[in-house]
Structure 1
Amino acid sequence: MSAVDEIVREWTAQLLDSGSVAALVAGLVALALVLHRATWLPLRGVVTIAHEGGHALVALLSGRTLNGIRLHSDTSGLTVSTGKPTGPGMVLTLFAGYPAVSLLGLGGAWLVTVDLAHVMLWGCVALLAAVLLAVRNVYGVLSVLVTGGAVFAVSWFATPAWQALCGALLCWFLLFGGVRPIAELRRKRSHGRAASSDADQLARLTGVPAGLWLACWFLIALVCLVFGARWLLLMPQL
């Protein structure tokens, strides 16, 4: 064994020996992945899956008929449902996409903190399988399969310590990744390039300005990030 291999093994052992340190490192890595354009663009698809899954779930819960989900290579997505075009069901369906990402990260963070990372990972696999049934385009199917395959591999092959670390990384990514799309949407709207966004559709349905919907989503994402970070940084020993 080379000196480099020995150093890597020793560093890894020390990292996994402290849950809070491991969680902090995972958080810094996730933040870098979200902030760096070269990594954010390919990984943003994971956020889109959670976003469209939120639309789909609330559409079903509100009594609407889910027609399908489409995920595109530019990381945009579309969830189509039929039902009453106005009213609470439609408003909740449109509202649900952005908060779904942060709430999923928050729920996962709690599970990881109480030493149930395996439940969090298998829950993600189950949710991805449900989304897969609703996807209606080839790219969307491939995107969900790749994401689900990665999570399944960690769930099946990784040790409990690495499951917890990878689970924490995913939660951090969703918590940070729940904030950036809202900022991106605000920037697009300021340049007149998002007339059909969820916020603008909600504004037309309710009369509440799109900016207030954006502010509400940002507040939810920020609260989830604060509480999720607090939980993750209190992770038990791995």
Structure 2
Amino acid sequence: MTPIDSLGDLWDRLLGAQPDPPPLLVLATALVALAVVSTRVPWRIGRNAITIAHEGGHALAALLTGRRLHGIRLHSDTSGLTLSAGRPTGPGMILTLLAGYVAPPLIGLAGAWILGGNRITLLLWVAVALLLAMLLMIRNAFGVVSLVITGGLVLGVSWYAPPQVQAAFAYTGVWFLLLGGVRPVLELQRLRARGRLPESDADQLAGLTPFPAFFWVLVFALVNLLTLLVGAALLAGPLLTDAGLTA
């Protein structure tokens, strides 16, 4: 870690661009994220990060639409709950419900855009700031522990790790958000088909709109797949550049 002797050094470190990552790092981190999403035990652990993003999406949408946010709960089974008050119908409630499943890949897309400018440290510090803001709204012990561990890990990497480790960590995290947003939608429909999620976001949206729950599952899936494609294109820039230079 480079010592920071002044506020100017801190600002330069935060906003400064890091060197282009090796194409192999971009590919390797994508494969690591795909492996975590595709395998049972790593997904069971990593899904907590997807839940944090999911509930954060609900919370942000509630605030932006003028609803009163009462709190967020994260559970050890990787489920979560965001409580807000306001009109039980209308655009605000619809957008709040819609935001959950699409939030992880959209956050990943924003991260991919930041990484496209090689602002790796900036991305990590933005993530820490968002986790701290969300921590203020957590209303259960497991949620507090989850946010503290996740935020502490990101802060530790951003502050102490060398640039190569920061890059690997940031790219893996963004790939995971992009890829990890797709699997929960598939799990949602599978559980709905078994009658195990009668109050899912999709079913609640069906109760507020003329469209059936399966329509909203398709909306989640299409948004997340499109976001994955756009985010992957942004992240794969070094790979495409390298291929063009060696062609």
Q: Does the residue aligned with 2:87 lie in a helix, a strand or coil?
A: coil
In the TM superposition, residue 83 of structure 1 has moved relative to its aligned partner by 0.4
Q: CA deviation at 1:235?
A: 3.6
Q: Residues 30 and 146 (structure 1 numbering): CA distance in 2 closer, same or farther, change over 3 Å?
A: same
Change (3 A) 1:227 1:155: same
User: Are 1:99 and 1:178, in contact at CA under 8 Å, matched by a contact in 2?
Assistant: yes
Other-structure match for 1:229: 232
Query: Alignment partner for residue 210 of structure 2, among 207, 212, 215?
Result: 207
| Identity percentage of aligned residues | 53
Matched residue count: 222
Check the 8 A contact 2:21/2:167 in 1, yes or no.
no
Match of 1:154 among 152, 157, 165: 157
Within 2, Cα distance between the matches of 1:222 and 1:17?
26
CA distance in 2 between counterparts of 1:18 and 1:204 reads: 47
Superposition pairs of residues 1-238 of structure 1, within 5 angstroms: 19-235=22-238
Q: Which runs of no fewer than 5 residues in structure 2 stay unpaired?
A: 1-18, 242-247
2:10 corresponds to? none
Query: Which residue of 2 is the match for residue 4 of structure 1?
Result: none
Question: Does the Cα contact within 8 Å between 1:30 and 1:172 map onto a contact in 2?
Answer: yes
Shift of 1:18: 5.5
The normalised TM-score by structure 2 is 0.87
Is the Cα contact below 8 Å between 1:68 and 1:136 reproduced in 2? Answer: yes
* Conserved 8 A contact 2:20-2:118: no
Query: Within 1, Cα distance between the matches of 2:96 and 2:166?
Result: 32
Q: Which residue of 2 aligns with 1:11?
A: none
Asked if structure 2 preserves the Cα contact closer than 8 Å seen for 1:98 and 1:178, the reply is yes
**TM-score where L is the length of structure 1:** 0.90
Q: Return structure 1 stretches of 4+ with deviation > 3 angstroms.
A: none
Q: Indicate conservation of the 8 Å contact 2:112/2:234, yes or no.
A: yes
**Cα RMSD after superposing both structures:** 1.5
